[in-house]
Chains A and B, each alone.
Chain A
Amino acid sequence: MGILIYGIINSIVFALIAMGFALVYGISRLPNFAHGAFYILAGFLTYTFLFGLGLNSPASIILSLIIIAGIGATVYRFLLIRIRGMEASEIIASLAIGFAIMEGLRFAGFRGKTYTLPVFLEGTVRIAGVPVDFQRLIIIGVGVVLIVVLWLFTHHTKVGLALRAMAQDEGAALMLGIDTDFAALIALASGSVLAGLAAIVILPLGNITVETGYDILINAIAVCIIGGLGSWVGAVLASFILGFAQMLTVYIVGAQWQMVVALMAIILILIARPSGLLARQKELEERV
């Protein structure tokens, strides 16, 4: 029973982490390899606001989300926009930016000491006999709400549908008068905010370290690849698969195998079934 509940929690964690990456790719086909960097950056920003500047909780959170959205937008507007469409360059450039951010944070002194964000609410609750702390409940709450909201937005609102159309065929979208560059800008800003939100909600469970940033990127990619790049349902499904798989592995074999699960998942899925489990777009089948 404990496994079930913690498995669900872990899965929602994965979903939260992957959401930002999936959104950006789903709308603008841009693989944002700086996703992990934004996650960690939001965490450190919130920490600085809370403890460095002494702001209160809500203010710190909102401020760092605004800043991270701004950073995402700026990165897009001045850098990534110029290489849109060139997939290899997009990956390399965003990876380099992410690398720079994360190692820059390491340089700026965020090492050695342990940094952590405080939990929102102290206390635990027993669900079906299993102790679950409030923070984890908040994670589930936030996660589920976001999943539902994003699903409704992209499938049932005009704007959302337009954005999805844009992802599938940018040329057609342009002809319909959709400003794809602006949409991509919004996408990247939103993706950054989602990364930040995930960070703020999840980081209180542990410490803020730069290594986490790399792990987050790997986890996000794993979810999106398993689910199939561009498939929302797939991403949710993949979160659960990965969430439980990782939980069980750590439980049975040991914590050091934690990241290996995600990494091997990426490698094996790409080898065996590259479009993912539920790929809508058969991207790998070229028309001859």
Chain B
Amino acid sequence: MLTQVGPRERRKERLDRGLKVRTEGIYALSSGKEALYLLAPRLTLILGLLVLPLLMPNLYWQRVICIMGVFALLSLAFDFLANYVGLICLGGALFMGVGGYIAGILNSLFGMPLVVTIPAATVTGAVFSTVLLSPCFPLRGIYFAIVTLMYPLAASRIIEALDIFGGTEGMAGLDTLPNIWFASYSIIPVLLVSLFALRRLVTEDIGLVLRGLKDNDQAAKASGISITRYKAYSTFIASAIGCFSGAYLAHLYGWAGISLFALDFSILPIAASVIGGMGTLVGPVLGAFILIPLTELLRELGTLRIVLYSLLLAGFIVFKPEGLMTYAQRKYHQFEHWVEV
């Protein structure tokens, strides 16, 4: 005898699209449609980014593209460290400043050309930043976050107090990138390469070790993994990305100063990551590409643009922490339908 248990309820259920299941894991691609399903988003991204500078109406906006690239790289670095290694670095400005100052010093004091200073700043900056941050690796999440927030603030005040490297005025008169096309088409490839390289990294075995470290560092220790070493590797990679951005920016403007350590460079990447979709690596890049033009449009309004992205950050992290990209991916890979329970 059947009994009615209660009022019939409806519930939303999400299932992977057939196309996703067929193209995932060990299944071979068997049709053009499936290949397109996988390739389309990636190709759109690559082509879109490469074409972007050509679409810009004037020099001002071409410059904005370059700035977008800088912030996209910083956001990428933040997302990688925070969501694949578990290191929440609230002080990305440290990398900007270190990279920018090293490039500036090499250029103005030693006269090296920017094709040398930028790579040199990237590598030495990464080493320097990793060494600086290494005493903090044993710290638990929240404490690591606080201390990393303080690093760039301390750096700028120390430089100011010691009045070295140009003090509050900074170092002016650095070589600038020859022309806007060089500028655009040096940062966009770097961005694309970094993005795809990191994506590859996190799916390789070493990426699994990093994620394991993030999930459960005690267990990782018991599995013979040296936490400090892998945190150092990851920090090196992220700071290399950040230092490159700093060195690039220094040569874009021909100037390096303590404003490179500003909170702006720490917080906007976080905003871009949260809004774009944390943990997806591509989300933060897109987040930067949304936020920067948005803030540029408001540039006349002064610091209101900072208010804007700060509020967006707060809003997203409280109400929609999954971010835009995760939402988009979900829509792309899954479909929803109502199911009666």
A and B: direct contact (Cβ < 8 Å)?
yes
Interface positions of A from 88 to 126, Cβ below 8 Å from B: 88-89, 91-93, 95-97, 99-100, 103-104, 106-107
Closest A residue, CB atoms, query B273: A92
Q: How many residues of B contact A (CB 8 A)?
A: 42
- Cβ of B282 within 8 Å of any chain A Cβ, yes or no, is no
Task: Render B128-152 as a binary contact track against A, CB cut-off 8 A, 1 for contact.
Answer: 0000000110011111011101110
In-complex Cβ contact of A83 among B90, B140, B150, B318 (8 A): B318
- Cβ of B88 within 8 Å of any chain A Cβ, yes or no, is yes
Instruction: Verify B310–A103 contact, CB threshold 8 A.
Output: yes
- Could you say which of A83, A103, A284 has the most chain B C-beta atoms within 10 Å of its C-beta? A103
Q: How far is the CA of A214 from the CA of B267 in the complex (A)?
A: 14
- Cβ of A288 within 8 Å of any chain B Cβ, yes or no, is yes
Instruction: Verify B161–A257 contact, CB threshold 8 A.
Output: yes
B residues less than 8 Å from A80 (CB atoms): 318
- Cβ of B45 within 8 Å of any chain A Cβ, yes or no, is no
Closest B residue, CB atoms, query A283: B140
Chain B residues touching A, majority SS: helix
Instruction: Verify B151–A267 contact, CB threshold 8 A.
Output: yes
Q: How far is the CB of A92 from chain B (nearest CB, A)?
A: 6
- Cβ of A178 within 8 Å of any chain B Cβ, yes or no, is no
Q: How far is the CA of A100 from the CA of B307 in the complex (A)?
A: 4
A residues less than 8 Å from B54 (CB atoms): none
Closest B residue, CB atoms, query A104: B307
Instruction: Verify B157–A259 contact, CB threshold 8 A.
Output: yes
Task: Render A207-242 as a binary contact track against B, CB cut-off 8 A, 1 for contact.
Answer: 000000010001001000100000000000000000
* Interface pick from B111-119, B284-292, B296-304, B331-339: B296-304
Chain A residues touching B, majority SS: helix
Q: How far is the CA of A97 from the CA of B321 in the complex (A)?
A: 16
Q: How far is the CB of A279 from chain B (nearest CB, A)?
A: 12
Check A79/B146 contact, CB under 8 A, given A260-B158, A260-B161. no
Q: How far is the CA of A21 from the CA of B307 in the complex (A)?
A: 23
- Cβ of B182 within 8 Å of any chain A Cβ, yes or no, is no
- Cβ of B311 within 8 Å of any chain A Cβ, yes or no, is yes
Q: How far is the CB of B202 from chain A (nearest CB, A)?
A: 19
Q: How many residues of A contact B (CB 8 A)?
A: 40
In-complex Cβ contact of A264 among B141, B154, B310 (8 A): B154
- Cβ of A270 within 8 Å of any chain B Cβ, yes or no, is yes
Check A97/B314 contact, CB under 8 A, given A267-B154, A271-B135. yes
In-complex Cβ contact of A92 among B147, B154, B270, B301 (8 A): B270
- Cβ of A243 within 8 Å of any chain B Cβ, yes or no, is no
In-complex Cβ contact of B311 among A88, A96, A214, A259 (8 A): A96
Q: Which residues of A are interface residues toward B (Cβ below 8 A)?
A: 31, 79-80, 82-83, 87-89, 91-93, 95-97, 99-100, 103-104, 106-107, 214, 218, 221, 225, 254, 256-257, 259-260, 263-264, 266-267, 270-271, 274, 283-284, 286, 288
Q: Which residues of B are interface residues toward A (Cβ below 8 A)?
A: 82, 88, 90, 135-136, 139-143, 145-147, 149-151, 153-154, 157-158, 160-161, 218, 263, 267, 270-271, 274, 301-304, 306-307, 310-311, 313-314, 317-319, 321
Apart from A266-B150, A270-B146, what are 5 other A-B pairs with CB-CB below 8 Å? Answer: A82-B318, A87-B142, A92-B274, A99-B267, A288-B218
In the assembled complex, 12 residue pairs joining A and B whose CB atoms fall closer than 8 Å, in A order, are A79-B318, A88-B82, A91-B145, A96-B313, A100-B310, A104-B304, A221-B146, A257-B157, A259-B157, A260-B161, A264-B154, A274-B140
